[in-house]
Every structure is written in C-alpha cells, then in structure tokens.
Amino acid sequence: MQRQELSGFVSEKHIGLMLPAGTYIAVEGVIGVGKTSLARLLAHKTGARLVLEEDFENPFLPDFYRDPRRYALQVQLNFLLERHRQQSDLKQLSLFNHSIVSDYIFEKDRIFASLNLEQRELQLYNRVAELLETDVPSPDMVIYLQSSPERLLTNIRIRNIDYERSISLEYIRNLCELYSRFFFHWDKSSLLIVNATRMDFVNNIKHRRSLLKILQKMPAGTTYFNPET
C-alpha cells in the first residue's frame, strides 16, 4: 500500500477531489489501459492510500506468457492468493476510515480464469475463489476504463515489458469481450465506464478536469463518460 506524490500533477492543486472518509475506489480495465496511472492520479488528488496490484511479483507469469496451457492454473491461483492477502489488509484499513484507491478489484481474477483455464481447472479455481471472496471488501465505486484492442496492444508494446511481448491482439480482444460482459452485470457498487481509447488523463488537462468533476459527485448506478477531444 502506497501514498504517492506525483510531480506531473502538482501544478493543478486547485483541481482536487474530496472523498468521504472510508471511501474505496477501484480502477479496472484490460491490460495496458492505464489503470495504474489513473489510480496514482486519484490517490494524489484525494490523499487516499494507493493500493497497486502486484502483477510483477507472480513467479509464474513469465512462464505463463510463454506456455499458457501449462502454467495457467499456477498463475491464476498465485494471483488469487496474493489479491486476497492485499484485500484482507484493505478490510483492516477500512476500520480506521482510510480512503483507498486501488488499480484492481478482487473479482477481476475470475475474468482471466474463465479465459485461461480448462473446465476442470476452472471448477477447482472457482471453489477456492468462492471461499476467499467472503473476506474481502467491496469498493464504493469502480471506474472501468474501456479502450480498443488495437490501442491497448500499442500501449503494451510501448511499455515494453519482456514477458508481455508475446501477448497477441486476439488475446486482448478476448479479454475486452470478457470484461464488457462482466461489467454489464456488475451491481456491487457504483460503476463509471470511461471511454479511454482517446483519453489522456495524464497529459490532457481537459480530460482530467472532466473526470474529476464526475467523480466529485460520486454518482450512483452506472454512468458513462466519453471525454471530449
């Protein structure tokens, strides 16, 4: 859990965001959509504690990208257990009314599991996940960043992480479809769906201001945000 100071945003101190004590916001979306960048921005603007998914500490992830069939179950269970550990810590923080911004939700692992695991493996995985889900808190709002598969793959190539180089456009397209289906049925919290294909909340002040303005209202239900160009 981290509290970030981002020098790239400090020139806009007047564009802040006040959250009620104990508010929990989670940012979600497919690989390369900018979840962590937005989570860092929101934590900076609100003074909330920042919780980042520990993707790069999964020892099976590089092997999975080389041989998905062989390592799918190991990588999914490792992610599931690590996310449960982090989310259990969040539950403790909520007792002290800390506001939290995270770059993932616990349930996201089910999306990847449904894509990567064979039927028997998925049944085993789901049994474990159902037991663990009872221990984790639900966010007050989820921000779901949507983008085109082509833009996502470009972002992945730009960040140039070794074990992500084998990710295919087809894999990204499948993930996008699964994410869309998942959030179509989301009802555990407020949901803000953001069209991030042409959005640049790091460098575009207009986009950033518009997004913060919406979040300040903490709208209930499902809200769609399509930033102006």
125 close to 117: Cβ distance less than 8 angstroms: yes
CATH 1.10.10.10 at 18-225, yes or no: no
Percent of residues, the chain, with pLDDT higher than 70:
89
Distances (CA, A) of 120 to 69, 73, 123, 200: 13, 10, 5, 41
Residues 6+ apart with CB under 8 A from 115: 174, 175, 178
Token duo for residue 130: 């159902």
Note the pLDDT tens digit of each residue in 62-96. 888 889 889 999 999 999 998 898 888 777 766 56
103 belongs to the catalytic site: yes
- Within the chain, strands assigned E span 24-29, 49-51, 100-102, 141-146, 190-195, 222-225
What are the domain boundaries of the chain? 18-225
20 close to 97: Cβ distance less than 8 angstroms: no
User: How much is the pTM?
Assistant: 0.84
Length of the chain: 229
At 55 the pLDDT is 61
> Annotated catalytic residue: which of 55, 67, 103, 140?
103
Per DSSP, the three-state class of 105 is coil
State the pLDDT confidence band at 103, using cuts at 50, 70 and 90. Answer: very high
Angle of helix 108-116 relative to helix 68-94, nearest 10 degrees, comes to: 170
